[in-house]
Amino acid sequence: MSVATILSVNTLTAVCSSGVEGELDRVLLNGAQVRISGLPTEAAEDAVRDAADALRKPPMPVITANGYAEKQDCAVWGVGSCGADRFSLRLRTGRFFTRLEQDAAARVCVIAEPLACALFGRADVCGAPIQVSIGDISEPFRIVGVYTSGYAAQMMHNVQPVYLPYTVLRQGDVGITETTFWLAAQDGLRDAAVRLMDRLGEHCLITDYTAQRERIRRAFDLVADVLTMISFLSLIVASFNLLVVTRIRVNGQIREIGLKRSIGASDRDLLWEYVFEASGIALIGAGIGVTINAALCMCLCLLKYEAPFSWPLAVCVTACAELLSVLFCLVPARWAAKLPPAQSLRRDV
């Protein structure tokens, strides 16, 4: 069972680690946020792109403004076509706008389910027109999607904004309140942030979430390491139990050992007999543990979790179990091998 415990702890920590990584992505702890105020959107974009020209993943602008949707007060966010992934939007119906619609500054939008219910009395409103007013822009937009939640947006601003292509907000005076850029976690991110601070100074506020993510990951890894160490301690305890069982068996076979010695069994023969017996018990136990862990991985996979079975770890843990079983059974086995035949035969068990 100790082998099953070690392998199961490794599997469960891997599943939890994957879940933690996904949750960190969901709350946008996967890059840096650059907030620029007091500059036109075009100037802010040029500065960010110049500073991040070496980055493999380009920055995504987020232009925020206040507006109205059919006379309902709302926040309006101009984002890129990858905004659904960046803000962890869960679409109830429809879709997010595409890259072609973004480049063409198409009049399409994605709205929150509460806003859809307030305006139309239902949530399934894909394809319906909606009048959106932002500054001097007041035009009909077509709803292409309705989202139920966007955890990151709620966490940062406690709002459920109307999402438009950011290219729309570049046209005309829309009363932009802030321009934000998201830089995905990647090599060279810190250098780009330093260049941007040098260029924009007080107009720029950069929040690096990668350091916070790394601290959370280290804390989780520490917990996983502690659990693994406790599991290995259980393997040592199981090996000690095997030592006790072997000693009890030796005490119960004193006369049998004497008979074997009297007909020619050597010390080595008796030693290897108990060593092989303990090794076989450990191997059977390890096999049962590996089978239990494989069944656990299959169950987790059926539940849509990523739980790959680790053959290298299974082989390593089995080898450790075998080694510990041999080392711990050597003491009673050597004691049995050194018993004088005459003393063994005279002893009453």
Instruction: Choose among 6, 1, 8: nearest CA to 297.
Output: 8
pTM: 0.57
Residues 151, 231, single domain; the answer is: no
User: Would residue 338 count as lying in a domain?
Assistant: yes
User: Would residue 202 count as lying in a domain?
Assistant: no
Lowest mean pLDDT among 198-207, 258-267, 306-315: 258-267
Counting the structural domains of the chain, the total is 2
pLDDT in tens, 214-270: 788 888 888 888 888 888 888 788 777 777 777 777 776 667 766 776 666 666 777
What is the per-residue pLDDT for 144?
Answer: 92
Q: Which long-range contacts (CB under 8 A, 24 or more apart) does 310-316 make?
A: 310/7, 310/10, 310/11, 313/6, 313/7, 313/10, 314/7, 314/290
User: Would residue 268 count as lying in a domain?
Assistant: yes
Residue 349 predicted with pLDDT over 50: no
Residues 84, 160, single domain; the answer is: yes
Task: Choose one of 185, 201, 223: the last residue of a domain.
Answer: 185
Q: How far is CA 7 from CA 10, 91, 162, 233, 296, in A?
A: 5, 37, 47, 13, 10
Which of the two residues, 154 and 189, has the higher pLDDT score? 189
Question: What integer is the mean pLDDT of 324-334?
Answer: 76
Residues 180, 253, single domain; the answer is: no
What is the per-residue pLDDT for 150?
Answer: 64
The amino acid that residue 107 corresponds to is: R
User: Would residue 207 count as lying in a domain?
Assistant: no
Q: Confirm if 101 and 81 have CB atoms less than 8 A apart.
A: yes
User: Would residue 22 count as lying in a domain?
Assistant: no
Q: Confirm if 343 and 258 have CB atoms less than 8 A apart.
A: yes
pLDDT in tens, 103-150: 888 899 998 888 888 888 888 888 889 888 877 778 889 999 999 876
What is the per-residue pLDDT for 71?
Answer: 76
User: Would residue 96 count as lying in a domain?
Assistant: yes
Residue range(s) defining the domain that contains residue 181: 57-185
User: Would residue 169 count as lying in a domain?
Assistant: yes
Residues 221, 292, single domain; the answer is: yes
Residues 295, 181, single domain; the answer is: no
pLDDT in tens, 51-109: 666 555 666 667 777 777 777 888 888 888 877 777 778 888 999 999 899 888 889 99
Please give the DSSP secondary-structure letter assigned to residue 39.
S
Tokens of 338: 């050194």
Q: Confirm if 27 and 149 have CB atoms less than 8 A apart.
A: no
Residues 301, 223, single domain; the answer is: yes
Task: Choose one of 165, 185, 205: the last residue of a domain.
Answer: 185
Residues 159, 247, single domain; the answer is: no
Tokens of 34: 């650059």
User: Would residue 206 count as lying in a domain?
Assistant: no
Residues 229, 141, single domain; the answer is: no
What is the per-residue pLDDT for 176?
Answer: 61
For 173-182, letters b (16+ CB in 10 Å) and e give ebebeebbbb
Residues 230, 166, single domain; the answer is: no
Task: Choose one of 164, 185, 206: the last residue of a domain.
Answer: 185
Kindly indicate the confidence band of residue 301, based on its pLDDT and cuts at 50, 70 and 90: confident
Residues 181, 110, single domain; the answer is: yes
Mean pLDDT over each residue of the chain, to the nearest integer: 76
Residues 167, 227, single domain; the answer is: no
